[in-house]
């Protein structure tokens, strides 16, 4: 039945996009070739009456996706991070998707919790409220643990949602294969890879144990961050479909009037949101990748509280240093250095003109710096930067795209709290501190120490590796001795490693 199911789902999707007026917008955004446009119209127009009507108050694309259901909403949200696939304009529209659905009955939620946690809800909790929030994957209840009296939030996955998502993901894979077969030109957008990425993200979100692990790791990383709080998971009350964590009360980040009325310093809060995101991305390489208004609150003492750790971003140390140098280069308006960093990182091919690239970067940065504080946008700068680097042959850096998308969202949150916030002034201390601690002599010493540790771990193998390398060089025609496994390591490298370890040990002893 998978074939008919996928075909029918594809027809209904096309019909919904046609009926809501979204079809043309999407085809233009991905620069669809004529053959794909014709196929989309064939699948959509004749069956237009089968399409969902959606909310006419929404823009066409968000109207169509919202009407098609939870999997499409989540897919749209994830596509909003892939401006390289759908274009900047459509990515901006997809960021506006609201992941809100009607709640399912509390009795059903209690049955799921009892089944997952191995005991009736009334035994585990002395209080258990009606749903306080409901999204495409799960809903949240306010409760109180009977044994400890602690107030908690209990997140429960929707019944049947795993099977529903699997059916739709199967249809997405079918559609991706269909698109690539029909129009090979679309393979540059890697539709099958995009769907596979979506599948991995959603399947992780559907296992709330992984979200609990992310929350726990994030809490450990940020425990010393002043003015920031992460609700901790209660591991004994967590399972695949249930996540129990501390209840954290606060005012919505998206209500600046309420924040001002409560006596909060909105400029400080907006600055803190920007700085926290950059600290987590640069210092830890592990950041909240879904920091919209709904996942942020302000506690009575002014602390920023983060929720919902289903989507987290991760970048390696080398990428962090590169990103920091690019930001600092723009902050200092040193466009030559920004260009050099791109070439050093291999982001831009070395056969391109570095001076011309630096001038293109200046054309990106100067208009932004010439604007007043309320119009200075790091998000816009990053968007323009990707446009320029694409013209100079930069390959897509998926980890930087997620970082950019989150920066856009975070900046939007900060601007909504304080429209006059100077983004550069907020970012500069964090970026400067990171560069001082990670690009100076102290950082070099740390890098060398890690190199020594890495080489040292192979110390016991080095004599054997050197002996084998020398044997292979002296007797290339002989059969490999049984007692000495083939190293596969060039002799010069084996000798260098040996000397490196010896030198390191000698320095350590002195």
pLDDT at 98: 63
pLDDT at 371: 63
Handedness of CA 43, 44, 49, 55 (dihedral sign): positive
Q: What is the DSSP string of 242-296?
A: EEEEE----EETT-HHHHHHTT--HHHHHHHHHHHHHHIIIIISEEES---GGGE
Max intra-chain CA distance, the chain: 85
CA distances from 74 to 79, 206, 366, 393, 496 (A): 9, 12, 37, 31, 51
pLDDT at 487: 47
Answer yes or no: are the C-beta atoms of 237 and 256 closer than 8 Å.
no
pLDDT at 382: 67
The β-bridge relationship of strands 304-306 and 228-229 is: parallel
Rounded Cα distance, 286 and 277, in Å: 10
Answer yes or no: are the C-beta atoms of 73 and 52 closer than 8 Å.
no
pLDDT at 299: 94
Rounded Cα distance, 428 and 120, in Å: 52
Rounded Cα distance, 129 and 144, in Å: 9
Answer yes or no: are the C-beta atoms of 354 and 343 closer than 8 Å.
yes
List active site positions.
290
**H, E, C per residue of 338-359:** HHHHHHHCCCCCCCCCHHHHHH
Contacts of 422 (CB under 8 A, 6+ apart): 373, 376
pLDDT at 508: 44
pLDDT means over runs of 10, the chain (510 residues): 67 81 75 72 68 81 83 77 66 69 92 95 96 89 95 94 83 78 65 76 85 96 93 95 94 89 92 93 90 88 92 86 82 88 85 90 78 64 70 68 78 86 83 78 63 65 71 64 48 49 47
Q: Which helix (H) or strand (E) holds 63?
A: helix 60-68
pLDDT at 505: 45
Q: What is the DSSP string of 287-321?
A: EES---GGGEEE-TTS-EEE---SSEEE--HHHHH
């Amino acid at each position: 039945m998978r074939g008919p199911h996928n075909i029918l789902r594809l027809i209904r999707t096309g019909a919904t996009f046609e009926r809501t007026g979204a079809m043309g917008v999407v085809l233009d955004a991905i620069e669809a070739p004529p053959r794909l446009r014709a196929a989309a119209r064939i699948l959509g127009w004749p069956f237009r009456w089968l399409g969902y009507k959606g909310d006419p108050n929404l823009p066409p694309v968000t109207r169509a996706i919202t009407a098609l259901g939870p999997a499409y909403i989540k897919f749209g949200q994830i596509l909003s991070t892939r401006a390289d696939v759908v274009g900047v304009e459509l990515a901006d529209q997809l960021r506006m998707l609201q992941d809100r659905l009607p709640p399912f009955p509390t009795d059903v939620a209690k049955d799921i919790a009892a089944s997952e946690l191995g005991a009736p809800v009334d035994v585990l909790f002395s209080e258990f409220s009606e749903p306080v929030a409901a999204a495409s994957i799960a809903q949240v209840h306010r409760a109180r643990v009977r044994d400890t009296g602690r107030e908690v939030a209990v997140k429960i996955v929707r019944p049947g949602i795993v099977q529903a998502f699997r059916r739709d993901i199967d249809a997405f894979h079918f559609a991706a294969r269909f698109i690539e077969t029909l129009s090979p030109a679309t393979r540059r957008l890697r539709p099958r890879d995009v769907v596979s990425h979506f599948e991995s993200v959603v399947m992780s979100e559907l296992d709330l144990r992984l979200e609990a692990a992310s929350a726990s790791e994030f809490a450990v990383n940020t425990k010393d961050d002043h003015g920031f709080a992460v609700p901790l998971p209660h591991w004994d009350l967590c399972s695949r479909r249930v996540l129990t964590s501390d209840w954290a009360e606060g005012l919505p980040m998206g209500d600046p009037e309420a924040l001002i009325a409560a006596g909060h310093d909105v400029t400080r809060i907006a600055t803190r949101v920007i700085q926290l995101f950059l600290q987590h991305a640069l210092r830890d390489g592990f950041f909240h990748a879904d920091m919209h208004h709904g996942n942020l609150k302000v506690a009575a003492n002014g602390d920023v509280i983060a929720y919902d750790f289903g989507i987290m971003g991760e970048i390696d140390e080398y990428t962090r240093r590169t990103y920091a140098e690019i930001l600092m280069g723009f902050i200092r308006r040193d466009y030559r250095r920004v260009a050099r960093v791109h070439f050093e990182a291999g982001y831009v091919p070395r056969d391109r003109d570095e001076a011309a690239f630096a001038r293109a970067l200046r054309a990106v940065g100067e208009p932004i710096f010439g604007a007043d504080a309320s119009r200075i946008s790091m998000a816009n700068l990053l968007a323009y930067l990707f446009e320029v680097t694409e013209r100079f042959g930069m390959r897509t850096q998926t980890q930087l795209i997620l970082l950019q998308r989150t920066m856009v969202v975070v900046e939007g949150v900060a601007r909504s709290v304080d429209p006059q916030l100077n983004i550069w002034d907020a970012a500069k201390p964090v970026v400067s501190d990171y560069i001082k601690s990670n690009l100076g002599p102290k950082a070099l010493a740390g890098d060398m120490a890690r190199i020594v540790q890495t080489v040292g771990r192979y110390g016991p193998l080095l004599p054997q590796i050197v002996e084998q390398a020398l044997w292979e060089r002296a007797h290339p025609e002989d059969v490999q001795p049984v007692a000495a496994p083939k190293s596969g390591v060039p002799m010069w490298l084996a000798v260098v490693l040996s000397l490196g370890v010896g030198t390191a040990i000698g320095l350590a002893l002195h």
